[in-house]
Amino acid sequence: MGKRLGQWLFWIAGVIGLSYMAWNLTFSDHGYLVYQKEAVQLQQLKAEVSALKVERERLAKEVLRFRDDPRALEELVHRELGYVHPDEYMVIMPEQSAGKGKVK
């Protein structure tokens, strides 16, 4: 009877040990669920990196265009800084809001 009890305890301890390992494999800090979440995050970061590389290439081309083409630089100064030539006039139009100017 003692040998049979020992076998049962051995099997129960084995099942408990396997259950603990399965639980850890799935739900621990380094488990399967965390791995899946990090894999999704990795794909998102790779997509963001590729988009940033494209943006960097576009900006590098724009910088080269500004270095080589003085007209491009002049266009940027006109657009961004509001620069006008002596023979030009600047007309400043007030911004209209959605609710302003409507009669109730």
Domain that holds residue 72: 53-86
pLDDT greater at residue 27 or residue 44? 44
Would you say 77 and 83 are in contact if contact means Cβ atoms under 8 Å apart?
yes
Query: b/e map of 23-61 (b: 16 or more CB within 10 Å)?
Result: eeeeeeeeeeeeeeeeeeeeeeeeeeeeeeeeeeeeeee
Q: Is residue 74 part of a domain?
A: yes
State the total domains in the chain.
1
At residue 29, the pLDDT reads 86
Q: Is residue 42 part of a domain?
A: no
Q: Is residue 64 part of a domain?
A: yes
Q: Is residue 91 part of a domain?
A: no
At residue 76, the pLDDT reads 84
The overall average pLDDT reported for the chain is: 87
Q: How confident is the model at residue 100 (pLDDT cuts 50, 70, 90)?
A: low
Say how far apart CA 69 and CA 10 lie, in whole Å.
82
At residue 50, the pLDDT reads 98
Question: Which amino acid appears at position 94 of this protein?
Answer: P
